[in-house]
């Protein structure tokens, strides 16, 4: 099947009236996405294994032999996200296997198509949760206790979805069998538009993280409390946002406040608390620290996740560049499971497919059918080489 046919099958799942996707972990939409994955695997006689962290692996060959070559991405989305971020990588992986199969080739090493769990962190706040658990980058107790916006924990959400949260945790034997991971992804910027090219190879992921900021004050009446008598955390919050965004602008880093909770969240009450989340990314660790340091000191700041700079395997990158005939090499400020696996010592690479809007995490995110095919064909060439298909 072509990558575009596979994407068309996924298109209705989790689509909202506004045209964006809400594909949150351990919901009925997630169940539908997982069923689609299993159906695709079974249609290709691949053996599906759900690991202890609910990541899905579809194996062609015996993973017990080791040196597994994995390709894939994730199926979950941000709130009102686009159709390509994640699913393009999984659909391209199945399509690449089909392209190779049509040539009558068989792999010399076990191949896996993978879909990682909760990559976006849209429901429980920590991105790349499935791969972080797999590599031991997050403590399973902390993961089980994460809560969504309605107060439901990972533990409860998994249990209600029929999963076993007691199994969560590092899986060194799976990791030891994994030789290489290649993740194809929609580009989340304008690099390929400017270069006029359909596909690029990833070089590195900028250091990035998420911080929770708690601004505390005193709730009081909006009418009877004089301005000079107020202890209003909204004022500190607003000043902080402007200062951090200014710091990011002058440093060439990225800072975003995309999520805020106000207590009691009432029009006629001074808030007692404002909780906001800062997403910050920078080309260097030092620049990242400096943008976070621009938050004022009277605020409680908690790092929820911090990911160091990741440079993808140089030899693998060179091998892909030679295979694909000098495609451009781009860095990215977006986090990916490939970055988490790279930090855990897995040889990883990424392929980016042009996004003609340059917009991601939005319904405006796009890839043309032609570029999706170029992406899947590129992945097939990479997989043929790495998997020793003959």
Q: Which residues contact 270 (CB under 8 A, 6 or more apart)?
A: 217, 218, 219, 220, 221, 222, 225, 230, 231, 232, 234
Give 363 or 388: the residue with its C-beta nearer to Zn ion: 363
Phi-psi region of 20 (alpha: psi -120 to 50; beta: other; left: phi over 0): beta
d(CA 356, CA 377): 19
Shortest distance, CB of residue 338 to Zn ion, whole angstroms? Answer: 10
Give 85 or 232: the residue with its C-beta nearer to Zn ion: 85
d(CA 48, CA 24): 21
Residue 114: which of 202, 179, 49, 31 has the closest Cα? 49
| Residue 134 DSSP SS3 | helix
Shortest distance, CB of residue 339 to Zn ion, whole angstroms? Answer: 11
Residues in binding contact with Zn ion, number by CB under 5 A: 2
Shortest distance, CB of residue 360 to Zn ion, whole angstroms? Answer: 8
User: Binding string, 298-327, against Zn ion, x = CB under 5 A?
Assistant: ------------------------------
Give 247 or 338: the residue with its C-beta nearer to Zn ion: 338
Shortest distance, CB of residue 255 to Zn ion, whole angstroms? Answer: 20
d(CA 234, CA 265): 11
Give 350 or 373: the residue with its C-beta nearer to Zn ion: 350
Give 23 or 273: the residue with its C-beta nearer to Zn ion: 23
Shortest distance, CB of residue 268 to Zn ion, whole angstroms? Answer: 41
Shortest distance, CB of residue 109 to Zn ion, whole angstroms? Answer: 26
d(CA 325, CA 154): 44
Give 270 or 346: the residue with its C-beta nearer to Zn ion: 346
Give 85 or 371: the residue with its C-beta nearer to Zn ion: 85
Residues numbered 278-297 forming contacts with Zn ion, rule: CB under 5 A: none
Q: Does 171 bind Zn ion (CB under 5 A)?
A: no
C-alpha separations of 129 from 174, 239, 362 in Å: 16, 32, 21
> CA-based angle 362:118:165, to the nearest 5?
155
What is the greatest pairwise CA distance in the chain?
Answer: 80
Shortest distance, CB of residue 131 to Zn ion, whole angstroms? Answer: 12
Residue 378: which of 335, 320, 333, 331 has the closest Cα? 320
CB 38 within 8 A of CB 150: no
Give 131 or 240: the residue with its C-beta nearer to Zn ion: 131
Give 122 or 291: the residue with its C-beta nearer to Zn ion: 122
Shortest distance, CB of residue 375 to Zn ion, whole angstroms? Answer: 14
Shortest distance, CB of residue 187 to Zn ion, whole angstroms? Answer: 11
Q: Does 187 bind Zn ion (CB under 5 A)?
A: no
Q: For 23-165, where are the E strands, in sequence order?
A: 47-50, 56-60, 68-74, 111-116
User: Binding string, 66-105, against Zn ion, x = CB under 5 A?
Assistant: -------------------xx-------------------
Q: For the chain, where are the E strands, in sequence order?
A: 47-50, 56-60, 68-74, 111-116, 178-186, 199-205, 208-216, 220-221, 254-263, 269-270, 273-281, 300-307, 310-311, 329-332, 347-353
Shortest distance, CB of residue 282 to Zn ion, whole angstroms? Answer: 20
| Residue 250 DSSP SS3 | helix
Give 85 or 155: the residue with its C-beta nearer to Zn ion: 85
Q: Does 251 bind Zn ion (CB under 5 A)?
A: no
For residue 358, count CB atoms less than 10 angstroms from its CB and return exposed for 0-12, middle for 13-18, buried for 19 or more. middle
List residues near Zn ion by CB under 5 A: 85-86
């Amino acid at each position: 099947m072509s990558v575009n046919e596979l994407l068309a099958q996924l298109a209705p799942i989790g689509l909202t009236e506004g045209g964006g996707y809400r594909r949150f972990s351990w919901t009925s939409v997630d169940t539908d996405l997982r069923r689609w994955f299993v159906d695709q695997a079974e249609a290709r006689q691949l053996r599906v294994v759900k690991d202890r962290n609910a990541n899905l692996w579809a194996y062609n060959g015996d993973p017990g032999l080791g040196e597994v070559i994995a390709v894939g991405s994730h199926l979950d989305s941000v709130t009102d996200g686009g159709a390509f971020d994640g699913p393009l990588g999984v659909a391209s992986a199945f399509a690449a296997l089909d392209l190779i199969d049509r040539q009558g080739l068989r792999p010399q090493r076990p191949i896996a198509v993978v879909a990682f769990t909760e990559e976006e962190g849209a429901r429980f706040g920590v991105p790349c949760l499935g791969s972080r658990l797999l590599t031991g980058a997050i403590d399973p107790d902390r993961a089980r206790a994460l809560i969504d916006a309605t107060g439901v924990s990972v533990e409860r959400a998994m249990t209600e979805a029929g999963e076993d949260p007691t199994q969560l945790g590092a899986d060194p034997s799976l990791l030891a069998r994994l030789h290489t991971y290649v993740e194809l992804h929609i580009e989340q910027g304008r690099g390929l538009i400017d270069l006029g090219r359909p596909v690029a190879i990833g070089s590195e992921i900028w250091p990035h993280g998420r911080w929770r900021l708690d601004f505390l004050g005193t709730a009081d009446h909006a009418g009877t409390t004089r301005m000079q008598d107020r202890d209003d955390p909204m004022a500190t919050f607003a000043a902080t946002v402007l200062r951090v965004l200014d710091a990011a602008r002058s440093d060439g880093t990225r800072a975003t406040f995309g999520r805020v909770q106000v207590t009691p969240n009432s029009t006629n009450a001074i808030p007692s608390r404002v909780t906001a989340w800062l997403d910050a990314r920078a080309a260097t660790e030092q620049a990242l620290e400096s943008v976070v340091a621009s938050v004022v000191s009277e605020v409680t700041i908690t790092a929820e996740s911090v990911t160091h700079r990741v440079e993808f395997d140089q030899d693998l990158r060179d091998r892909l560049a030679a295979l694909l005939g000098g495609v451009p090499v781009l860095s990215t400020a977006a986090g990916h499971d490939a970055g988490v696996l790279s930090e855990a010592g897995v040889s990883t690479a990424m392929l980016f497919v042009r996004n003609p809007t340059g917009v991601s995490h939005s319904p405006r995110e796009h890839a043309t059918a032609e570029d999706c095919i170029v992406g899947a064909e590129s992945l097939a060439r990479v997989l043929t080489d790495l998997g020793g298909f003959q």
